[in-house]
Amino acid sequence: MDQKNAAVLTYLNEDELRTLSAQGVVKNFPRNTVIVSEGDETDSLYIIIAGRVKVFVSDEDGKEIVLGTQGPGEYFGEMVLDGGPRSASVMTLEASRFAVIPKNKFRDFLLSHPGFSLHLIEKLIRRTRALTESVKSLALMDVYGRVARLLLELAVPENGRFVIGEKLTQQDIASRVGASREMISRILKDLTAGGYISVDKRRITIHRTPPRHW
């Protein structure tokens, strides 16, 4: 199973986290709070000090697609630099604490910390690659293929196995791959019956790589 380490690189190290957080104010939000909404005016960068959030887009009928989740040490709102509207919404999955950095202070920080500026460029490149792959999978893969791809992307090594540490409901998976919860339920049952995965209290373990096509 080919696992990429790109996700790890989205985290700030302790020095970066401490220095950049000092440029803003700390705010606390309860679970299920929308921090920013798609289309909002862009004015701040958010650094996650504690808690988890989901990043998503939705339509007028409330149907949403989850683009990903983030936890402590990660950040969102970096596109504040171009002054355009928010491209996605962000909601807390649990009680969370953020350092909120105004646009002008974030810009000054980038100018005085070229190492972090390079880190930011690399993150944006990875995001572009990920979005390209997502568009490709939505256009060319069936639902099973999208589910298999998502599971492999999220799995990390743990005690000789590959485990998805993030607790995912069937609806979470459905929102990420653009399918119904009922379809996800059938696919997970088939993968479990085939010995590819096991699910215990929403914790998914991958025992062998699922086939690309079912």
Averaged pLDDT, 5-14: 50
Q: Model confidence over 139-165: pLDDT tens digits?
A: 556 888 889 888 988 898 888 789 997
**Among residues of the chain, what percentage have pLDDT more than 70?**
89
8 A C-beta contact, residue 45 and residue 79? no
**Which tokens sit at 175?**
């929102």
Q: Taking the model in full, what pTM does it have?
A: 0.64
Question: Domain ranges in the chain?
Answer: 6-137, 141-206
pLDDT, residue 112, reads: 86
Q: Say which CATH class 141-206 falls into.
A: mainly alpha
- From CA 212, how far away is CA 194, in angstroms rounded? 14
pLDDT tens digits, one per residue of 109-124:
888 888 888 878 888 8
Q: What is the pLDDT of residue 89?
A: 93
Strongest mean pLDDT among 11-25, 52-66, 191-205? 191-205
Judge contact between 209 and 186, C-beta under 8 A: no
Fold classified for 6-137: Jelly Rolls (2.60.120)
Q: Is the pLDDT of residue 6 over 60?
A: no
Residue 5 confidence (pLDDT) above 70: no
